[in-house]
Amino acid sequence: MFIKKKKIEMLNKSIEYLNQTIIKSRIIELSELIGNKKEILKRNLIAGISKGVGIGIGITIITAILVIILQKIVTLNIPIIGEYIADVVEIVEKNR
């Protein structure tokens, strides 16, 4: 009888541990999401828009920093590089 109670206690602890693991890993939420195609479409659409906006902002900032750096290099009057960079900066500023 004592062995049976001990096994039941171990089984209860294992079940509780498994339950906590499932809750932490959000398996239940993911299984509900898989069954709902509209929810998947909505989440992917929002994620795609967010990524696109983030990439656009990032490229704009990096390009602006590069143009500023190139303008600083032009002011140093390095003979060969300065002329080339001046042309690049001029082209960029014309297209703004």
DSSP count for the chain of H helices, then E strands: 4, 0
Q: Which span out of 46-50, 74-78, 81-85 was modeled with the highest average pLDDT?
A: 46-50
What is residue 94's predicted lDDT score, i.e. its pLDDT?
A: 86
| pLDDT of 67 strictly over 90 | no
User: At 11, is the pLDDT very low, low, confident or very high (cuts 50, 70, 90)?
Assistant: confident
What is residue 73's predicted lDDT score, i.e. its pLDDT?
A: 77
Report pTM.
Answer: 0.49
